[in-house]
Amino acid sequence: MISHCFQAITSEAYGVNSHAGEAWLAGRGHLPHPRRATFKQVSPARRLAFEILSAVERGGYASDLLAARAAPLDTRDAGLASEIVFGVLRYRAQLDYLIERYSGKPAARLDDPVRLALRMGIYQLRYLERVPAHAAVSESVDLIKRARKRSAAGFANAVLRKVDRDPVAWPSPAVELSHPAWLLERWESQYGAEAAAAIARANLRVPETFVNAETGRIQDIGAQAIVPLLRLERGQTFLDLCAAPGNKTAQALAAGVRAIACDIHPRRLAPLMALGIDLVVLDGTRPLPFRRRFDRILIDAPCSGTGTLAHNPEIKWRSQPGDLADLQARQVALLEQGRRALAPGGRLVYSTCSLEREENEDVVATVPGALVVETMRRIPGREAGDGFFAAVIMADTP
């Protein structure tokens, strides 16, 4: 247990001062009375996609939900469910524009299940070549019926039967690139119009899968570039202050360091138990409980995640400009506490998977300039993989 691991480090060395079942989400688990409603069989892939997209609307994350719920499906159904889920999230702005184009009604005015089923249907009809049109139409309509929106079934059927693959004159770059306008404007300001468009287009593509040769884990190629900046050596003490989900921790362990991994949430540390290292639940923005300082520290800070939108497209629809100030305050506090725990001659890496200046350069600017010895930036559409920022910071002179 993680609590036992906390006990393990109270030593002289460091001196510590659902399963969803078969119930439909839309029906709250109650099957309709057979005399009142009968439904065609909806494929497991489309049923799961609808459930997951509904859960994402309520704040869930598609990758986590698919990992938890797709296991019972065969490979083909799981693949189709994933394709629909991520396709709808990546192309949401285009799909909502097409709903209005084909129906004459703004997508925002439709009931949630109706809008969601229409997005799924239009995505399959326009963007997936191997899906039979009759299946995309009929099952999307049946999902609406199952969601107890039977009165909208005829409307949805009529809309979906108008869908074609003709070229579309999109009304704005935000719709064409399927990103919020405010986010595109920020990237244009920071990186230029061409780079901003390249970032957005990269976010619409299915991300390439990379495997870390040292750990055998699937890990984005951009994420793999962070740990080498620490210049780890065997026997060094290493603190991973925001360790979950543990890919970078495992990468550091391959260098032979003596590691402690921390996170604020116990459940997020649970997957790291297999690494066989000391785990500590703590809030890294507050004074750390270690008396001894560390040779190497990694702060892979919680951030907006705008560099990971190909993997996590829902982020772009739920993020707001005002979120950055709160994130920055936490990031500055993490960096301050991390620097206090760094041994003389030590090396700290601060990193984010954000493209935003507030979370990167502005945070690092709180450190005396002479101590920042290197920075790295990876931008989607320019480098392979997700977007990352990292700064290498040396310890203060004793």
Yes or no: say if 140 and 117 are a contact pair by the CB < 8 Å rule: yes
Q: Quick check: 3 pLDDT over 80?
A: no
CATH code 3.40.50.150 region(s) in the chain? 209-394
**What's the pLDDT at 370?**
87
Buried b / exposed e along 199-220 (16+ C-beta atoms within 10 A): bbebbbeebeebebeebeeebb
Mean pLDDT of the chain: 90
Q: CA–CA separation, 93 vs 96, rounded Å?
A: 5
Q: Which pLDDT belongs to residue 274?
A: 93
pLDDT tens per residue across span 185-238: 999 999 999 999 999 999 999 999 999 998 999 999 999 999 999 999 999 999
Q: Are 335 and 367 in contact (CB under 8 A)?
A: yes
Q: What is the maximum alpha-carbon separation in the chain?
A: 80
Cis-peptide into 106, omega within 30 deg: no
Q: In this structure, which amino acid lies at residue 51?
A: E
Strands 278-281 and 372-378: unpaired
Average pLDDT on 158-187 reads 97
The pLDDT confidence band at residue 41, using thresholds 50, 70 and 90, is confident
Percent of the chain past pLDDT 70, that is, above it, reads: 89
Contacts of 36 (CB under 8 A, 6+ apart): none
Can you give the pLDDT at residue 39? 52
Question: Which residue in 5, 262, 303, 353 is the catalytic one?
Answer: 353
When pLDDT is averaged across residues 60-70 and rounded to a whole number, the result is: 95
Distance CA 379, CA 355 (A): 7
Q: Are strands 294-300 and 342-352 parallel, antiparallel or unpaired?
A: parallel
Residue 134 banded pLDDT, cuts 50, 70, 90: very high
pLDDT tens figures, 303-359: 999 999 999 999 999 999 999 999 999 999 999 999 999 999 999 999 999 999 999
Which pLDDT band, with edges at 50, 70 and 90, does 72 fall under?
very high
How does residue 373 score in pLDDT terms, banded at 50, 70 and 90? very high
The 10 Å Cβ neighbour count of residue 140 is 28
- Domain 209-394 is in which class? alpha beta
Q: Which residue has the tokens 């977007």?
A: 387
Residue 280 has pLDDT above 80, yes or no: yes
d(CA 8, CA 14): 10
Show Cβ contacts of residue 350 under 8 Å, excluding neighbours closer than 6 positions. Answer: 299, 301, 331, 335, 338, 363, 364, 390, 391, 393
Predicted local distance difference test score (pLDDT) of residue 282: 96
User: Which residue shows structure tokens 């991994």?
Assistant: 261
For this structure, is 353 an active site residue?
yes
Q: What's the pLDDT tens digit per position in 8-24?
A: 333 333 333 323 332 22
Percent of the chain with pLDDT over 90: 88
Token pair listed for 237: 């003490």
pLDDT higher than 50, residue 130: yes
pLDDT, tens digit (0-9, with 9 covering 90-100), for 110-129: 999 999 999 999 999 999 99
Distance CA 82, CA 313 (A): 13
Nearest to 47 by CA among 76, 22, 18, 75: 22
Q: Under CATH, what is the fold of the domain 44-165?
A: N-utilizing Substance Protein B Homolog; Chain A (1.10.940)
- How does strand 294-300 pair with strand 388-394? unpaired
Q: Residue 175 CB: number of other CB atoms within 10 A?
A: 18
Burial status of residue 151 (CB atoms within 10 A of its CB: 0-12, 13-18, 19 or more): exposed
Question: Would you say residue 2 has pLDDT above 50?
Answer: no
Portions of the chain given CATH number 1.10.940.10: 44-165
| Adjacent-strand bridge partners of 376 | 390
Structure tokens belonging to residue 217: 């884990």
User: Quick one: tokens of 213?
Assistant: 């040769």
Amino acid letter for position 97? Y
Mean pLDDT (whole number) for 239-253:
96
CB neighbourhood size of 397 (10 A): 8
Tell me which residue has tokens 């139409």.
137
Q: What is the pLDDT of residue 13?
A: 34
3-state secondary structure of 110: coil
Across 71-98, average pLDDT: 97
List the strands of the sheet with 294-300, edge to edge.
278-281, 258-263, 237-240, 294-300, 342-352, 388-394, 372-378
What is the pLDDT, as a whole number, of residue 144? 96
Please tell me the distance from the alpha carbon of residue 223 to that of residue 211, in angstroms, as a whole number. 11
